[in-house]
Structure 1
Amino acid sequence: MDDRISVLERSLIGLTERVNILEARLSKPKSGGDYQTNTVSNYMIKIVYPGIFARVDKLNAGFPNNRKKVALQLTKGQFMFLYVTSPEKKIMGLARVASECKQIGGRWPYSVDLEWVIHPKPGISLTEAGLDIRPRVGDTLFSITDEKAHQIFAALNSQDDLDSNTLKYLFEKYKDFYKDNDTDI
C-alpha cells in the first residue's frame, strides 16, 4: 500500500508542476521580443480601420469597453503608429496622443485625440517592419520597443507623404466603411 501511495504522490507532484507551467504560459500576455499585445508604452501600434482615411483631419483613437483599462493608461505625448487593417494592412503614419482619455459613448466609448507626427504615407507592412504580429479580433494596441519604433520611423520617413489626390481616392474608397461601422478608428 505504501508503494502505491508513493507512486501516486510522485504522479501528483509531476502533474502539479505541469499545470503550473501551463498556467504560467497562459497568463503571459501575447508577445514577441519586440512587442506586447494590448499594453501601453511610449511607442505603440494602434490597429485602425480603413475608415481612418475619412478622418485624417480630425484624428482620434477609440477603444471598446473591454479595453477601458488600456485606454485610461494613455497619456499625452505617447506615440502611436497607425496600422490600417485589411485590405491595406500597412503602418501608414505616426501620431502623438494629444489629450487624456475621455468617455464619449458609442461603439468605442473611450477616446484620445491624436495629432500627426508623420502624415499618411504609402506605408509598410508589419513584416517589413520586422514584426511577427498578426492582429486578431480584440487586439487594439501593441506596445513596441524604442528600437523597433525608430526602425519604423526611419522606414516611414523614407517615403513621400500621400498626396491630396491619393487621400481623396482613399477617402472615397472607404467612406462607406466609416459610416457603416460607426468607427472611431
Structure 2
Amino acid sequence: MTAGDALLGRALVEEATKKSGLVWVRGSGPARALWHVWHEGAAVLVGDGPGEQPFPEGLVAGAPAEVTVRSKDKGGRIVAWTAVVAVLEPHSEEWEAAVADLKGKRLNAPDAERMTERWARECRVVRLVPEAPRTELPDGSLAAVPLPTAATTRRTAPAALPRLLLKRRGRR
C-alpha cells in the first residue's frame, strides 16, 4: 500500500463515517448498530447507561474494534475499518468538546436540559480512533441472528378495526 493509498483510505473513512447516521461496531462480541458523531478525527459514541444505546461487549480502553460504515441513503456497506478504543474521562477538556457535538445529534432525549450531567454520571463516552481501512470484501455473508432486546412488537389489532376503517362514510 502506497502513501497515497493510505491517505485516500483515511479520507474515505472520514467522509463515509461523517455522512453515515449509524456505524456497526464489533468489540469482542456481536456487532451493534450505534449512532455517533465524527469529532476531531474519530467516531465518538455515548452509551452503556439508562436510556442510551448499549455498547457491544469488549468496547474497553485500548482494545481494538471493527467498524463498518453504511451508506445513509441505500444502507449498503461503504467501508470497514479497525479502530482503537479510547474512553473519555467525564468533564475532561476532550470529553466536554465531544459531548457538545453529541448533544446536538441526540434525538428524543427525555431530559435534554440535564442530559450531559446524566452522561457524566451514568454513561460512557467512547472515541473510536481509526487505524486502518479495509477495502477487501468479506468471503461469506455477514448475516447474523438478531441480538436479544427488550423491544416488543405492537399488539394485534382488534377484530372490528378493519370494518371500521373500510366502512363507507355515507351514500352518494
Shared fold by TM > 0.5? no
Q: Which has the higher helix share?
A: 1
Q: Which has the higher strand share?
A: 2
- TM-score of the two chains, using structure 1 as the length reference: 0.24
